């Protein structure tokens, strides 16, 4: 046993327990301090609520007296003594909209107001008549001035149209002369082009007729890469010798193909014969294996039957002779008799 290691562990354990105890005591002191602070805060909150309720009561007592309330006039015992007429003047502050004490047209100076309104309406009517006459005069002057300006503008427009018509006639005449000249030049140019095209066509026809294409010159199809190669767009076909050589080659190819087909037929027949022989041999082998398996299975069944009979005989012997005597209590008492 390592005593130094154990002492070190015990010392560490004690230090850990002392640190944990100090931490628990610090937590307990902190919880006590928090409880004291909570008690002080609750007491301060109660005092604040009490002071607020007291201040509200004092405010209601000093500044919210019953006579200052809006509905006090309904239960005022001095209401009849304090009552005044419904309206003293048109500007009485008691004549509110909701009071329904003054309507439109029921003011106290109704007669003076109506007289003033009639005088004002007469002045407005006279002023409207003067304004209407002035407006008619201005409208007549404006219409006369518009008619005068329109006549002058129509005259200028007609003069401008006359000048434009003369210019248009001059331009049409010049255009007509120019088109006539252009048509004559175009007809001459077409006639010249037609003559030149006819001449070119005749030259081309004579060139084609005299060329190697229509004359079927075989030398024209010979390629520059060798006599055995031809130019396809100029080649007119093969001669009789070449055709006979090709037919001979085709006949030889037909004979060769027939020979290959005959060899392939013989080879397939040989493969079929060999496959048939292999299948027969396989069938014989499978029948031989089946016969051997059947013989082995019969032998195995015989052996199993003998073993089963021996097992039954053994079981009968054990049951009737070997296990016929049952153990007594004395047999079991000989076990667990030593002190070991």
Is the predicted pLDDT of residue 319 greater than 90, yes or no? no
Average of per-residue pLDDT across 220-243: 72
DSSP 165: H
How large is the average pLDDT for residues 97-123? Answer: 80
pLDDT at res. 255:
95
Rounded Cα distance between 237 and 220, Å, is 12
Average pLDDT of the chain to the nearest whole number:
85
Q: Please, which pLDDT band fits residue 228 given cuts at 50, 70 and 90?
A: low
Question: pLDDT digit string (tens) for 143-175?
Answer: 999 899 889 988 898 999 999 999 999 999 989
Q: Note whether 214 and 208 are within 8 A (CB).
A: yes
Query: Coil, strand, or helix at residue 232?
Result: coil
Q: By mean pLDDT, which of 77-81, 103-107, 244-248, 281-285 is the weakest?
A: 103-107
Q: From residue 123, how far is each of 118, 128, 129, 131, 173 by CA, in Å? A: 9, 9, 10, 12, 74
Q: Which residues contact 94 (CB under 8 A, 6 or more apart)?
A: 87, 101
pLDDT at 220: 67
Name the pLDDT band for 218 (thresholds 50, 70, 90).
low
Mean pLDDT for 41-47 is 94
**Lowest mean per-residue pLDDT among 73-77, 234-238, 280-284, 288-292:** 234-238
Instruction: Measure Cα distances from 87 to 95, 101, 114 in Å.
Output: 7, 8, 21
């Amino acid at each position: 046993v390592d005593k130094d290691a154990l002492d070190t562990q015990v010392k560490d354990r004690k230090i850990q327990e002392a640190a944990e105890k100090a931490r628990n005591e610090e937590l307990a002191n902190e919880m006590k301090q928090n409880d004291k602070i909570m008690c002080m805060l609750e007491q301060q909150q109660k005092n604040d609520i009490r002071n607020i309720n007291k201040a509200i009561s004092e405010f209601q007592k000093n500044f919210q007296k019953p006579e200052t309330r809006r509905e006090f006039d309904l239960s005022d015992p001095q209401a009849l003594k304090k009552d005044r007429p419904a309206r003293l003047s048109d500007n009485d502050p008691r004549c509110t909209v909701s009071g329904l004490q003054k309507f439109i047209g029921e003011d106290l100076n109704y007669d003076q107001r109506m007289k003033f309104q009639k005088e004002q309406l007469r002045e407005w009517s006279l002023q409207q008549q003067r304004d209407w006459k002035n407006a008619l005069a201005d409208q007549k002057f404006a219409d006369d001035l518009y008619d005068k300006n329109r006549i002058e503008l129509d005259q200028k427009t007609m003069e401008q149209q006359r000048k434009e018509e003369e210019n248009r006639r001059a331009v049409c005449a010049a255009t007509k002369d120019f088109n006539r000249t252009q048509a004559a030049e175009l007809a001459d140019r077409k006639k010249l082009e037609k003559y030149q095209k006819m001449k070119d066509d005749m030259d081309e026809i004579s060139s084609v007729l005299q060329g190697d294409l229509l004359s079927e010159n075989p030398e024209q199809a010979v390629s520059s890469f060798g006599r055995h190669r031809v130019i396809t767009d100029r080649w007119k076909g093969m001669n009789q010798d070449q055709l006979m050589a090709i037919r001979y080659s085709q006949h030889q190819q037909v004979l060769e193909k027939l020979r290959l087909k005959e060899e392939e037929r013989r080879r397939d027949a040989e493969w079929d014969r060999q496959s048939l022989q292999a299948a027969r041999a396989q069938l014989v082998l499978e029948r031989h294996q089946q016969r051997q398996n059947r013989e082995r299975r019969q032998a195995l069944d015989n052996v199993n039957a003998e073993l089963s009979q021996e097992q039954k005989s053994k079981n009968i012997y054990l049951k009737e002779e070997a296990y016929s005597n049952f153990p007594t209590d004395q047999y079991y008492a000989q076990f667990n008799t030593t002190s070991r």
